[in-house]
Amino acid sequence: MAAVGALVVPAQSTELKMWILSGNPGNAQFLTEAETEFQKTHPDFKLVLEQLPNESYKTQLPVALAGSAPPDVFFNWAGEYAARFAKEGQALDITELGAKPGGFKHSLSDAWQSSFELKGRNFGVPTDAVSKYFFYDKEFFAKNNLTPPTTFNGLVKLCKSIRQIDPSMVPWPLGNSERWIVNHVVTMLNERVLGNANTAADYDLSAPADQLFTNPGYVEAWQKLVDLQDAGCFQDAPNATSPEAADQMFLAQVSPMTFCGTWCAATFDKDGYTGYSLFRFPSIEGGKGDPAATFLVPQGYQIAAKSQHPELAAEWVSFLVSNEQAVNYAKLTAAVPSNAALIEQVGGTEQFNWFAKDIAQSTGSVMVLNVLLESAVSEAYLDAGVEVLNRTKTPQQAMDYIRGIALQSKARLGRN
């Protein structure tokens, strides 16, 4: 009788509300399949999945977290975005919950866990990291004897060659209507020109005021963007073109290359286009950066501090990064999972295998500026990208503007 009583699980609500970004192919399917698997050990579990587009996600999430019915689990990027919710007490400290049997601490390396750490405590679980590469049309390159460039000058030359082949062809469509596209390019240009070590103190505003963002390499990086534009790499109106439109130009093979996130692979695969290959962001001649450093933004899930089911939420996110689920995640989303224990079982596409290997071999990571920088400085960088492309600001004027905002932020935040 007592044994039977021990098997009875007290009835309780086990519905979890989860917010994710929309537009990531395979992600919703992965979560739905994971829900079915999770229900085998948690029969009452029910997932309420809500998907929001990128821009509205960033604005609606803080409001929801401040409200009375926040999502229990929510997607977030590592870095400033995640740290903000941790500092403001909106994201749950899941250090102890993650250390329980089956918790994410047993599945993920310390390096991965650190991406959502603040003062040694875990405020999130990384699921994967996104990177960016040049995707190129193999057939077009082969037909015109073009080769992927390894240097910046080679990239400039490549754009010019493509324009010579067909002047109306846009070598590298740039959809900067949401501003983050050029920001990603400038992120890499800064790294390649200056190197991570020379930017760290500026990026976290700890450099002395008289030195903050004064390295001439920043201007040089912006100038490289102008050089690319002058070489005819981009179309006429990058600031008025949406990222989706730019992706479509590559997908429709009217443009032979694009600088796209690893998430793009899933989009292209879904649309049946597999005739592409990839190459890294080239090194810059004389630059201080590491040519093997890769654009890398960890992302994952946080749990709302107000969640009514913190333990269940922690079990759920830990389950999502378990060995088996990580394999399925990689298969369905073409993402590089944080838990790579069974990565060889993924059997992904040629492109997936390429960037998974490349990320594993990278000797450094480059965090994207609009996630890394303090919000006002990040905005300044985003706006400067628009103005430099529009030629309403020169590279020097762009940096003067950014430095001015950075000085204000440094004073306001008291960073020494």
Please count the CA atoms within 13 angstroms of the CA of 351 that sit on its side-chain side: 29
Please count the CA atoms within 13 angstroms of the CA of 134 that sit on its side-chain side: 26
User: Per-residue contact track with another protein, 173 to 202, x per CB under 8 A?
Assistant: ---xxxx-----------------------
Interface residue with another protein, options 239, 362, 394, 397 (CB under 8 A): 239
Question: Does residue number 65 form part of the binding site for another protein (CB under 8 A)?
Answer: yes
Interface residue with another protein, options 15, 55, 204, 271 (CB under 8 A): 55
- Max CA pair span of the chain: 85
At its nearest, how many Å lie between another protein and the CB of residue 64?
10
Please, what is the angle between helix 54-66 and helix 80-87, to 10°? 10
If the CB atoms of residues 197 and 252 are measured against another protein, the closer one turns out to be 252
Question: Does residue number 139 form part of the binding site for another protein (CB under 8 A)?
Answer: no
Residue 224 in tokens: 């490289």
At its nearest, how many Å lie between another protein and the CB of residue 385?
8
At its nearest, how many Å lie between another protein and the CB of residue 366?
24
Interface residue with another protein, options 15, 44, 50, 88 (CB under 8 A): 88
Burial of 196 (0-12, 13-18, 19+ CB in 10 A): middle
List the Cα angle 176/206/81 in 5-degree steps.
45
Write 309-312 long-range contacts (CB < 8 A, 24+).
Answer: 309/13, 309/14, 309/16, 309/72, 310/92, 310/94, 310/97, 311/97, 312/14, 312/16, 312/42, 312/45, 312/72
How many residues bind another protein, per CB under 8 A?
Answer: 35
At its nearest, how many Å lie between another protein and the CB of residue 389?
9
Question: Does residue number 89 form part of the binding site for another protein (CB under 8 A)?
Answer: yes
Question: Does residue number 400 form part of the binding site for another protein (CB under 8 A)?
Answer: no
Question: Does residue number 235 form part of the binding site for another protein (CB under 8 A)?
Answer: yes
Question: What whole-number distance in Å separates Cα of residue 244 and Cα of residue 112?
Answer: 30
Question: Does residue number 160 form part of the binding site for another protein (CB under 8 A)?
Answer: no
If the CB atoms of residues 237 and 360 are measured against another protein, the closer one turns out to be 237
Single out the segment in contact with another protein by CB under 8 A; choices: 71-79, 204-212, 229-237, 320-328.
229-237
User: Per-residue contact track with another protein, 362 to 381, x per CB under 8 A?
Assistant: -------------xx--x--
Question: Does residue number 76 form part of the binding site for another protein (CB under 8 A)?
Answer: no
Question: What whole-number distance in Å separates Cα of residue 156 and Cα of residue 149?
Answer: 9
Question: Does residue number 241 form part of the binding site for another protein (CB under 8 A)?
Answer: yes
Please count the CA atoms within 13 angstroms of the CA of 227 that sit on its side-chain side: 17
Please count the CA atoms within 13 angstroms of the CA of 330 that sit on its side-chain side: 27
Question: Does residue number 386 form part of the binding site for another protein (CB under 8 A)?
Answer: yes
Question: Does residue number 68 form part of the binding site for another protein (CB under 8 A)?
Answer: no
If the CB atoms of residues 341 and 407 are measured against another protein, the closer one turns out to be 407
Question: Does residue number 66 form part of the binding site for another protein (CB under 8 A)?
Answer: yes
**DSSP 8-class letter at 288:** -
Interface residue with another protein, options 7, 11, 119, 236 (CB under 8 A): 236
At its nearest, how many Å lie between another protein and the CB of residue 409?
11
Question: Does residue number 245 form part of the binding site for another protein (CB under 8 A)?
Answer: yes
233: which residues sit within 8 A by CB, 6+ positions away? 155, 156, 159, 171, 172, 174
Contact (CB, 8 A) for 135 and 141: no
Contact (CB, 8 A) for 126 and 76: no
Residue ranges binding another protein (CB under 8 A): 55, 58-60, 62-63, 65-66, 84-85, 88-90, 176-179, 235-241, 245, 249, 375-376, 379, 383-384, 386-387, 390, 392
